[in-house]
Amino acid sequence: MNYDVIVIGGGHAGIEASLAPARMGVKTLMVTILAEQIGASSCNPAIGGLAKGHLVKELDAMGGEMALATDATGIQFRILNGSKGPAVRGSRAQIDMDRYRIYMKNVILNTPNLDVKQEIVEALIIEDNKVLGVETQLGNRYMAKKVIIASGTFLNGLIHIGEKKQQAGRQGEFASVKLAEYLRGLGIEIGRLKTGTCARIDGSSIDFSVMEVQGGDENPTPFSFRTNRESFNPTQLPCHVTYTNEDTHHIIESNFYRAPMFSGQIEGMGPRYCPSIEDKINRFRDRPRHQIFVEPQTLEANEYYINGMSTSLPTDVQLSMIRSVKGMESAKIVRYGYAIEYDYVQPTELKHTLETKKIEGLYCAGQINGTTGYEEAASQGMMAGINAGLSVKGEEPLVLGRHEAYIGVLIDDLVTKGTKEPYRMFTSRSEYRLLLREDNADRRLYRYGEKLGLLDEEYLAKVKQKERDIAEAVIYLKENFVTPTKEFIEKLLSLDEEKINDKVSLLDLLARASMSSEKIIALVPEFKKYSDEVVEQILIEAKYSRYIDKQKNQVDKMKNMLNVKIPEGFEFSKVSGLSNEIIEKLEDIMPPTLFNASEISGVTPAALEILHIYIKMAQKAR
């Protein structure tokens, strides 16, 4: 069978990697070990969170599926950091894991140009360093112009529970052993990482009455820009909060010698920001307690995820430590927690398009690239899928800049710096946080979705109108001034606002921290014609306009800098402040421009700035 694109994997990366090219009209095949598990969430039943919510919104803005699936199957919606600035707010939703899988499987099966096969890919078909297809355990050969590997934690997956080890990709699923061996044979740099998950508890054995309740937002906001905000009214289930205590810590500590984390049984590096409970007890010995979130996994099945208690301790220790926690004294474990070690591809092996440098037409996306998290996986999946699709069509690749999207930051960090530990997104990873907000992801990125044909006309008309309204309103605010007349001062005081003493632009007036959407409407009644979403954006633009302009200037400066030519014969070794590794790479490749230099793995933005200064100095000296 011949395809344009073959995607190996039906996880969060594989889904977006398959949908994007198929929706672009490119004939695509998804091969996955278990069709039942398309869209399975290996770990926590939640999508989004700080910085991760940004990624989901960006995916959505370009036509990805994750946000729509979350809105359709979410069972609790919250905006994290709601009281803080808009740049660091993050949307998070608990999802019904079963319904999420079914939703995704249906979308995949109903997408034109997309076929699915439940088979295990064991080898790739490669000739002259160019990928031609895949070979499965059933002996089937599927040919394609591009292949995307989105195999998650499955490559040589090895599960640890106490002293017990078991080869698996996820508990209960085959590991991908032959494909892992095949990739090692290609000479691609492969490393080993580790992640883990907690036990799942039978809800009927938990005493929720002694735990704190954590509900969803009163007025839940949908994840997707394409979900109707007015009619969005999901069923919301509560989460509960409880804590570990001295007993729990004693049980864990006295069993350290049986923990694969400490006994040397696990070699792979784990996620620093999502440590196991044994790691937390070891690292933070003076903390009297650790918070545990008891989260529902589905609407109907009474099974709970105990967020904060990821572990690979032996099963008897897991039971004792869980039963030492308030409200869990009679807890019955349905599934034990475990750690998993797996192979990953060092992402410096990849171009910004996520195509491998060594094998033409072969792309990697998701956890295989050293990341952790559903959102990071889906983002890479979509970009690999888009770029594979564009390449099939003979079109220019799409690489998002660091100033355009967190997805751009994610991929740039991975392919230029590589990673030695599971990489997750944080808002602090972006230099342009005020520009890359969740709330403006639609305005930042819809043009790409439109160009690729991934967004429908109705939605595009809506987002374009929103863009026009905001631009019109900001001009109005810049051009219109208010004066301290008696009438206007009274109006301000009635809104609990300080009076003005001089003539000011409406933009400056609305920049006050105390302003709200309601006050905007009271002060500028002309704005009643705009939707709530538009007024919200006007408020943000007004409050942060100075900072936003400053960051936009920085972006322009960066763009100009990247266009700078590196003179022929430039002596990189004479530039002080560059590491020997960077100098070696630059001398080896001799990039013609700073943009080309920026694409070399390890060449950081700071290194580019230094080079820029030296090039300018060399030009002046001439």
- Nearest Cα to Cα of residue 108 among 116, 120, 119: 116
> How far is it, in rounded angstroms, from Cα 127 to Cα 30?
22
Could you say whether residue 72 binds ligand FAD (CB under 6 A)? no
| Binding region for ligand FAD (CB under 6 A) out of 66-74, 124-132, 151-159, 279-287 | 151-159
Binding ligand FAD (rule: CB under 6 A), the pick from 144, 261, 274, 463 is: 274
Beta carbon of residue 86, minimum distance to ligand FAD (angstroms, whole number) = 24
| Binding region for ligand FAD (CB under 6 A) out of 37-45, 61-69, 244-252, 276-284 | 37-45
Beta carbon of residue 3, minimum distance to ligand FAD (angstroms, whole number) = 15
- Site mask, ligand FAD, residues 318-357, x = CB under 6 A? ----------------------x-----------------
Binding ligand FAD (rule: CB under 6 A), the pick from 14, 48, 86, 327 is: 14
Could you say whether residue 374 binds ligand FAD (CB under 6 A)? yes
List C-alpha distances in Å: 289 to 8, 96, 211, 305, 308: 42, 29, 15, 19, 11
Residue that is written with structure tokens 């070891």 in the block = 282
Tokens representing residue 443 in the block: 């305005």
Residues 462-491 that bind ligand FAD (CB under 6 A): none
Binding ligand FAD (rule: CB under 6 A), the pick from 21, 169, 234, 308 is: 169
Beta carbon of residue 399, minimum distance to ligand FAD (angstroms, whole number) = 20
Beta carbon of residue 317, minimum distance to ligand FAD (angstroms, whole number) = 18
Query: What's the DSSP call for residue 174?
Result: -
Could you say whether residue 367 binds ligand FAD (CB under 6 A)? yes
List C-alpha distances in Å: 604 to 349, 425, 533: 17, 18, 37
> How far is it, in rounded angstroms, from Cα 464 to Cα 442?
10
> How far is it, in rounded angstroms, from Cα 216 to Cα 93?
9
For the beta carbon of residue 574, count every other beta carbon within 10 angstroms: 10
Could you say whether residue 379 binds ligand FAD (CB under 6 A)? no
Tokens representing residue 510 in the block: 């609305």
Query: Nearest 5°: phi and psi at 418?
Result: 70, 180
Beta carbon of residue 299, minimum distance to ligand FAD (angstroms, whole number) = 21
- Nearest Cα to Cα of residue 276 among 207, 198, 352, 333: 198
> How far is it, in rounded angstroms, from Cα 217 to Cα 493?
31
Per-residue burial over 223-258, b if 16 or more Cβ lie within 10 Å, else e, is bbbbbeeeebebebbbbbbbbbeeebbebbeebeeb
| Binding region for ligand FAD (CB under 6 A) out of 10-18, 399-407, 438-446, 488-496 | 10-18
Beta carbon of residue 29, minimum distance to ligand FAD (angstroms, whole number) = 11
> How far is it, in rounded angstroms, from Cα 130 to Cα 198?
41
Beta carbon of residue 174, minimum distance to ligand FAD (angstroms, whole number) = 8
Using DSSP bridges, classify how beta strands 141-149 and 362-364 pair: parallel, antiparallel or unpaired: parallel
Beta carbon of residue 45, minimum distance to ligand FAD (angstroms, whole number) = 11
- SS3 for 347? helix
Tokens representing residue 354 in the block: 């996520």
Dihedral (CA of 274, 280, 282, 286) sign: positive
| Binding region for ligand FAD (CB under 6 A) out of 32-40, 95-103, 235-243, 317-325 | 32-40
| Binding region for ligand FAD (CB under 6 A) out of 29-37, 65-73, 502-510, 611-619 | 29-37
Could you say whether residue 48 binds ligand FAD (CB under 6 A)? no
Sequence length of the chain is 622
> How far is it, in rounded angstroms, from Cα 356 to Cα 345?
10
Could you say whether residue 31 binds ligand FAD (CB under 6 A)? yes
> How far is it, in rounded angstroms, from Cα 80 to Cα 577?
39
The residue among 271 and 361 lying less far from ligand FAD, judged by its C-beta, is 271
| Binding region for ligand FAD (CB under 6 A) out of 27-35, 344-352, 447-455, 598-606 | 27-35
Binding ligand FAD (rule: CB under 6 A), the pick from 100, 154, 527, 544 is: 154
- Site mask, ligand FAD, residues 181-200, x = CB under 6 A? --------------xxx---
Span between the terminal Cα atoms of the chain, in Å: 61
Binding ligand FAD (rule: CB under 6 A), the pick from 66, 179, 261, 306 is: 179
Which residues bind to ligand FAD, rule: CB under 6 A? 8-14, 31-34, 37, 42-43, 120-121, 150-154, 169-170, 176, 179, 195-197, 274, 340, 366-367, 372-374, 377
